[in-house]
Structure formats: structure tokens, C-alpha cells
């Protein structure tokens, strides 16, 4: 287990140290506060002697006033020092949390879509929420403990040796016995807590998955199956937690008992010295107090390793993400694309999702001129979505090239390339903001007027107006009341407002019923005028206006031509047509989503 944990490389250590040392003034001040705390701790043990010898035994009245005053001062200093060090160290810790969070979010946002698909969403979220906290724990708690407890240990040792060095030497032969088990137990606890952390992360991912998939689980009656799986996971967690509890719960009593042996020795040896007059009761109790107070910082110091280990593991996970290679990178001398119209060409394009996988696309060649509408058809899994994803560089080609306005897309700045492309994806993705903001995502500086115009063009205005707060309704408020067709129309409005030269519609109207589709289709056709358009259609009847049709089959172009040409060929396209004609034009929704009935369903 220990060896499995990746330590931090020199490089990563240096990054953390650089980050922390940026706050050296605060660190120095915090260290000063910690010295004050340690000094106050030592002073408390020291004060026991005058209390005993001067007040109780000698009954000195002056001391009766002086000592309580000193006690107040010592406690005040300890309090002030504790506050100061906690505040400063947590300030630095929180700063570091924020630095890591922002860095992770930026990185994950910029990483290619493939990375996000590969990692579990829950795991990525846990990087930004949990792991970052653990690292903070390492930086603030560990540093606080390291310095404050270390200084305290020194202070107590000084008191112990100052009071009675002979007794001290005797005790230090016996006491280490009590400290050895700390190491053993610490190691066990650490091992189980790594296990339970991993199980916890797994549990999080599981929850995320099953809650987002709640509908499927209900429909497929997977409830009992999922409950059983969940119970297995909580069972495993229970087992690990209990092992941790046993190790933890045993460690204190065992240590205390062994410590008790040490104390017994001190009482025997120290008592003997008081009886034969070489020591006083004050010295003895002051000594004993310091020894007992030593226990707490030593225990904390022994746990420090644990905190640091956890922190190091979390930091490695964070750095793994931060250092993930961005495969889709911008060239140093990337060109800024700025063209009112663009043609798009695929030249010998080959593409596979993973190096060892069969290509999802192979030998793709075609050009789409401005004003042209290229329709992509074929059975699902044919590679249509994969093909259009290459244009905005959501993925990079494996072979050949994709050009836009004559430039290889990889030679352009990513921002300028994507500014020229508007896309309606297959899954209608909306964010939990207002309807207005969702449309505005297409053009951040759009006026409310422009937003409404876009919504009208996408035939979304009417249903938006029926929302509780119209355009200001937050998507989340609508819950599942928003139908697939409505979502698609909001996405279309968002794409329309972007007004980009290249337009990609990936089954953009598939969730609309035939009637609504015809209307939206008109709007889209207007929009496509003068642009370079890719239309992926699931109903062939909706693409008869396309200038050219490409039929993809297993990632290759099987047929290519106009509707009439392909029909005349009597090949795969013809078959697909006749298949759909036989089924009749099946609407994806039986209730027109713009009708009051659609709203009433909520």
C-alpha cells in the first residue's frame, strides 16, 4: 500500500514549495505566533513549581497575587498566538485551495473533450472539491502542527531538564516505550483510510451516475439491482471504516497504558528524590506537568506523517490532471481566421478514437462550398457525428487534413476557428441559467432584442413566453417539463444568434414532431443561405433541399450525389429511403411540443 502511493516528484515538490514560499512574510509571522504558543505552554508547566512550593508550602502572600496574574498573561499570550497562527496558516491554505481549484477548472475546461469523456465526471469533480481540501489540510494543518507542536515539545523538554535532569534522564529511558506503538497504529490507520477514501470516491461516482440516470433505472426496473450494488459498496466502506476505528480506538488506550508505566516510574523515582530531600514537591509536579503536556504535541506530530501522506496522494492526483498533455494544442504561429464565408474540405481524412482502435472514419474526401448544404446520412454509428466533430477540432484527425477557407484547421487559433462555426449538437445541452442566458451563450454581447429574434426564428418564442418567468425562467426550474423538442429549439436559437459562416446541425430537429420540424426547417433553410452547412438528418425527408448527400457507412463514404442521383443508383440511399417511406414519416413526438398540451403535461 505504502509503495503504491506515488510520492511527489522533485518537480512537483518544488511547485508546492514555491507556492507556499510566496507567502514567506505570513509564514514568518505565523511561526512567531507558534513560538509564543510553545513558550506559553512551557511557562504553564514552569508555573506549577511556585504554586506548589511558594504558595502551598511556604504560604507566600506576594506570590499568591503574582502567580495568578502571570497565569492570566500566559493564557492570553497562548490564545493570541493560537488565533494568529490558525488565521495565517489557514489564509495561506485557502489561497492554495483556490489556486488549485481555478487551475484545475481551467485545465479541465481546456482539455480536449476526449479527456472528459474518458474520466468519470464524479472523479473529476472530486479532484476540484475533495482532493484540493486534502492538500489544504497538508499545507495548513501539517505546517501548524509541525511548527507549533515541535516548538512545544522543545519547550516542554527544556522545562523537564531544567527542573530535574536526573529524573529526566531516567524517564527518557522508559518513555520511548510509549511512543513506539504510535508509529505502528499510525501506519494501520493510514492504510485503512486510503482504502476508505478510494471506496468513497467510487461511491460518489456511483451516486452521480445513478441519480442522473434515475429515469432509466426506474424504467428498466433496475432499482433493486442498483440498491444491491450500493449496499455492497457501503458494506465495503463499513468494513474499512471499522478496521480504522479499531486501530484508532486501540491506539489511545494502549498508548495511555504504556504512558502510565512511564508516569509510575516518574512517581517512584521522583517521589524518592522528594522524600530524601534532593527535590521539592514543586519541582516534582512541575516536571510531571511538563511530561503530561508533552503527550499531546507528540501524538499530533506522530499523526503528521499521516496528513502529509494523504496530502501527497491528493496532490499527485491533482498534478496528474494539471499536467495532462493537451493533445489539441495551438501552434505558436497560429493564424487568426477572419473570413465572412468559408469553404470546408476534408482531404484523405482518417480518424480513430484510440490508436489501437479501428478507424471511425477512413478515406474521407469532399469539399463544401459557401452556400452549399451537405447532408450526411447513414445508419447510426456510421461516423456522422465523428466527422463533423473534426471541423471545430473537438478531435484532431489521425491522418489527412480538414481545411477551412483553405487553412488546415490545426494552423488556426482555436478561438478564431470555433468563432466561425455554429453547432447544434445531437444531445440538446442547456445550462442551469435563464433561458435568455442560454441563448446568449451563442453571442455573449447579444441584446435582449437579438435574443428574442433568434428565439422567434427557432420557433421557440411562443413556448418560452408560457414559462413562469418567460425568458428569465431558469432552466432548472422547468425540470423535466422541458421536452426534447423544446430543448432542441433553444439550442437552435443559440446557434442562430451566433451567426457563423459554418453551420453544423447534428440531428438538430430529431426530437421535433414532423409538423414542428417543417416549420423549424424553413427557419434553418433561411439561415443556411450563403453559409457552409453540414446537416445530419435522421429523417431523409428533411434533407431533400441539400445540394449534396453523402452516405456514410462504417466510417467510409459509401455513396455521394444529389437526392435524384442517389435514388437513381438504387443503392444504400435508395434502400434507406424506401425503408423510411414504408414506416411512414414517424414523428419523434406525438404531441406537437408547441401546443398547450405539451405545457400541460408538466
Q: Could you tell me how many residues of this chain bind ligand ADP (CB under 6 A)?
A: 11
Contact region for ligand ADP (CB under 6 A) — 220-228, 300-308, 376-384, 489-497?
Answer: 376-384
Taking the complex as a whole, the smallest distance from the CB of residue 505 to ligand ADP amounts, in Å, to 12
DSSP classification of residue 477: H
What's the rounded Cα separation, in Å, for the pair 374 and 506?
Answer: 12
* 464 interacts with, out of Mg ion, ligand ADP, none, CB within 5 to 8 A per kind: none
Taking the complex as a whole, the smallest distance from the CB of residue 117 to ligand ADP amounts, in Å, to 5
Q: Is 372 exposed, middle or buried (0-12, 13-18, 19+ CB in 10 A)?
A: middle
Q: Is 510 in the site for Mg ion (CB under 5 A)?
A: no
Name which of 198, 202, 168 is nearest 279 in CA terms.
Answer: 168
DSSP assignments along 104-141, one per residue:
HHHHHHHS-HHHHHHS-HHHHHHIIIIIHHHHHIIIII
Select from 360, 405, 454, 496 the one that contacts ligand ADP (CB under 6 A): 360
Centre a 10 Å sphere on the Cβ of residue 106 and count the other Cβ atoms it contains: 11
* Beta-bridge partners for 375: 535, 549
Q: Are 484 and 511 in contact (CB under 8 A)?
A: yes
Q: Is 241 exposed, middle or buried (0-12, 13-18, 19+ CB in 10 A)?
A: middle
Taking the complex as a whole, the smallest distance from the CB of residue 429 to Mg ion amounts, in Å, to 14
Q: Strands 399-404, 407-408: parallel, antiparallel or unpaired by DSSP?
A: antiparallel
Nearer to ligand ADP, 303 or 384 (CB): 384
What's the rounded Cα separation, in Å, for the pair 295 and 278?
Answer: 26
User: What would the grid cell of residue 111 be?
Assistant: 482539455
Taking the complex as a whole, the smallest distance from the CB of residue 438 to ligand ADP amounts, in Å, to 24
Q: Is 386 in the site for ligand ADP (CB under 6 A)?
A: yes
Q: Is 381 in the site for ligand ADP (CB under 6 A)?
A: yes
Q: Is 353 in the site for ligand ADP (CB under 6 A)?
A: yes
User: What would the grid cell of residue 540 be?
Assistant: 431523409
Contacts of 244 (CB under 8 A, 6+ apart): 189, 192, 193, 196
Contact region for Mg ion (CB under 5 A) — 108-116, 418-426, 431-439, 490-498?
Answer: 418-426
Taking the complex as a whole, the smallest distance from the CB of residue 364 to ligand ADP amounts, in Å, to 12
Q: Is 393 exposed, middle or buried (0-12, 13-18, 19+ CB in 10 A)?
A: buried
* 381 interacts with, out of Mg ion, ligand ADP, none, CB within 5 to 8 A per kind: ligand ADP
Q: Is 126 in the site for Mg ion (CB under 5 A)?
A: no
* 360 interacts with, out of Mg ion, ligand ADP, none, CB within 5 to 8 A per kind: ligand ADP
Give residue 400's region: left, alpha or beta (phi > 0; psi -120 to 50): left
User: What would the grid cell of residue 425 be?
Assistant: 449538437
Sites for ligand ADP among residues 89-118 (CB under 6 A): 117
Contact region for Mg ion (CB under 5 A) — 306-314, 384-392, 461-469, 587-595?
Answer: 384-392
What's the rounded Cα separation, in Å, for the pair 68 and 65?
Answer: 6
Taking the complex as a whole, the smallest distance from the CB of residue 565 to ligand ADP amounts, in Å, to 22
Nearer to Mg ion, 435 or 535 (CB): 535
Contact region for Mg ion (CB under 5 A) — 155-163, 349-357, 421-429, 592-600?
Answer: 421-429
Sites for Mg ion among residues 294-313 (CB under 5 A): none
Q: Is 289 in the site for ligand ADP (CB under 6 A)?
A: no
Taking the complex as a whole, the smallest distance from the CB of residue 382 to Mg ion amounts, in Å, to 8
Nearer to ligand ADP, 191 or 553 (CB): 553
Contact region for ligand ADP (CB under 6 A) — 259-267, 383-391, 443-451, 474-482?
Answer: 383-391
Contact region for Mg ion (CB under 5 A) — 13-21, 256-264, 333-341, 420-428?
Answer: 420-428
E strand map for 127-195: none
Helix (H, G, I), strand (E, B) or coil at 550: strand
Q: Is 427 in the site for ligand ADP (CB under 6 A)?
A: no
Q: Is 385 in the site for Mg ion (CB under 5 A)?
A: yes
Give residue 381's region: left, alpha or beta (phi > 0; psi -120 to 50): left
* 50 interacts with, out of Mg ion, ligand ADP, none, CB within 5 to 8 A per kind: none
Q: Strands 548-553, 556-561: parallel, antiparallel or unpaired by DSSP?
A: antiparallel
Q: Is 275 exposed, middle or buried (0-12, 13-18, 19+ CB in 10 A)?
A: exposed
Nearer to Mg ion, 515 or 554 (CB): 554
Q: From residue 175, how far is each of 189, 318, 601 by CA, in Å?
A: 23, 40, 75
Q: Is 510 in the site for ligand ADP (CB under 6 A)?
A: no
Q: Are 40 and 74 in contact (CB under 8 A)?
A: yes
* 383 interacts with, out of Mg ion, ligand ADP, none, CB within 5 to 8 A per kind: ligand ADP
Q: Is 398 in the site for Mg ion (CB under 5 A)?
A: no
Q: Cα-flanking dihedrals φ and ψ of residue 144, to 5°?
A: -60, -50
Taking the complex as a whole, the smallest distance from the CB of residue 366 to Mg ion amounts, in Å, to 18
Contact region for ligand ADP (CB under 6 A) — 4-12, 378-386, 515-523, 565-573?
Answer: 378-386
Q: Is 382 in the site for ligand ADP (CB under 6 A)?
A: yes
Taking the complex as a whole, the smallest distance from the CB of residue 468 to Mg ion amounts, in Å, to 34
| Footprint on this chain of ligand ADP (rule: CB under 6 A) | 117, 353, 360, 378, 380-386
| Footprint on this chain of Mg ion (rule: CB under 5 A) | 385, 426
Amino acid at each position: 500500500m505504502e509503495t503504491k502511493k506515488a510520492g511527489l516528484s522533485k518537480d512537483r515538490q518544488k511547485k508546492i514549495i514555491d507556492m507556499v514560499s510566496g507567502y514567506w512574510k505570513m509564514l514568518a509571522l505565523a511561526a512567531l505566533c507558534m513560538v509564543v504558543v510553545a513558550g506559553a505552554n512551557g511557562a504553564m508547566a514552569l508555573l506549577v513549581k511556585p504554586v506548589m512550593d511558594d504558595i502551598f508550602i511556604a504560604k507566600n502572600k506576594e506570590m499568591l497575587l503574582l502567580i495568578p496574574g502571570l497565569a492570566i498573561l500566559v493564557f492570553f499570550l497562548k490564545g493570541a498566538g493560537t488565533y494568529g497562527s490558525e488565521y495565517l496558516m489557514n489564509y495561506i491554505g485557502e489561497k492554495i485551495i483556490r489556486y488549485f481549484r481555478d487551475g484545475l477548472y481551467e485545465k479541465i475546461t481546456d482539455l480536449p473533450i476526449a479527456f472528459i469523456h474518458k474520466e468519470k465526471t464524479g472523479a473529476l469533480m472530486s479532484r476540484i472539491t475533495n482532493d484540493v481540501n486534502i492538500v489544504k489540510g497538508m499545507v495548513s494543518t501539517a505546517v501548524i502542527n509541525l511548527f507549533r507542536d515541535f516548538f512545544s515539545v522543545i519547550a516542554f523538554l527544556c522545562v523537564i531538564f531544567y527542573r530535574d535532569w536526573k529524573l529526566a534522564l531516567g524517564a527518557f529511558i522508559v518513555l520511548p516505550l510509549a511512543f513506539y506503538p504510535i508509529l505502528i497504529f499510525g501506519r494501520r490507520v493510514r492504510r485503512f483510510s486510503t482504502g476508505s477514501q478510494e471506496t468513497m470516491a467510487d461511491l460518489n461516482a456511483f451516486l452521480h451516475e445513478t441519480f442522473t440516470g434515475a429515469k432509466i433505472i426506474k424504467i428498466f426496473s433496475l432499482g433493486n439491482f442498483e440498491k444491491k450494488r450500493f449496499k455492497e459498496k457501503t458494506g465495503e466502506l463499513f468494513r474499512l471504516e471499522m478496521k480504522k476505528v479499531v486501530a484508532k480506538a486501540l491506539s489511545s488506550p494502549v498508548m495511555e497504558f504504556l504512558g502510565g508505566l512511564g508516569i509510575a516510574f516518574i512517581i517512584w523515582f521522583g517521589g524518592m528524590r522528594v522524600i530524601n530531600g534532593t527535590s521539592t514537591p514543586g519541582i516534582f509536579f512541575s516536571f510531571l506537568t511538563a511530561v503530561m503536556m508533552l503527550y499531546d504535541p507528540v501524538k499530533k506530530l506522530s499523526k503528521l506523517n499521516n496528513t502529509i501522506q494523504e496530502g501527497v496522494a491528493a496532490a499527485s492526483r491533482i498534478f496528474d490532471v494539471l499536467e495532462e498533455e493537451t493533445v489539441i494544442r495551438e501552434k505558436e504561429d497560429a493564424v487568426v481566421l477572419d473570413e465572412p464565408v468559408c469553404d470546408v474540405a476534408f482531404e484523405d481524412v482518417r480518424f480513430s478514437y484510440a490508436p489501437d482502435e479501428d478507424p471511425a472514419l477512413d478515406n474521407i474526401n469532399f469539399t463544401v462550398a459557401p452556400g452549399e448544404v451537405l447532408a450526411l446520412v447513414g445508419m447510426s454509428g456510421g461516423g456522422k457525428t465523428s466527422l463533423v466533430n473534426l471541423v471545430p477540432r473537438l478531435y484532431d484527425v489521425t491522418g489527412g487534413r480538414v481545411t477551412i477557407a483553405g487553412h488546415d484547421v490545426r494552423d488556426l487559433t482555436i478561438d478564431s476557428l470555433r468563432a466561425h462555426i455554429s453547432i447544434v449538437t445531437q444531445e440538446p445541452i442547456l445550462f442551469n441559467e435563464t433561458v435568455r442566458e442560454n441563448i446568449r451563450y451563442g453571442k455573449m454581447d447579444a441584446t435582449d432584442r437579438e435574443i428574442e429574434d433568434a428565439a422567434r426564428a427557432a420557433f421557440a418564442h411562443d413556448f418560452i413566453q408560457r414559462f413562469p418567468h418567460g425568458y428569465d425562467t431558469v432552466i432548472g426550474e422547468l425540470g423535466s417539463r422541458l421536452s426534447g423538442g423544446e430543448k432542441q429549439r433553444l439550442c437552435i436559437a443559440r446557434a442562430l444568434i451566433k451567426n457563423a459562416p459554418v453551420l453544423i446541425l447534428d440531428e438538430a430537429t430529431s426530437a421535433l414532431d414532423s409538423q414542428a420540424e417543417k416549420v423549424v426547417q424553413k427557419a434553418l433553410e433561411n439561415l443556411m443561405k450563403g453559409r457552409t452547412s453540414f446537416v445530419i438528418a435522421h429523417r431523409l425527408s428533411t434533407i431533400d433541399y441539400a445540394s449534396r448527400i453523402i452516405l456514410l457507412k462504417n466510417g467510409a463514404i459509401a455513396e455521394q450525389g444529389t437526392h435524384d442521383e442517389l435514388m437513381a443508383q438504387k443503392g444504400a440511399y435508395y434502400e434507406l429511403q424506401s425503408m423510411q417511406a414504408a414506416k411512414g414519416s414517424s414523428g419523434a413526438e406525438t404531441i406537437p411540443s408547441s401546443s398547450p398540451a405539451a405545457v400541460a403535461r408538466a
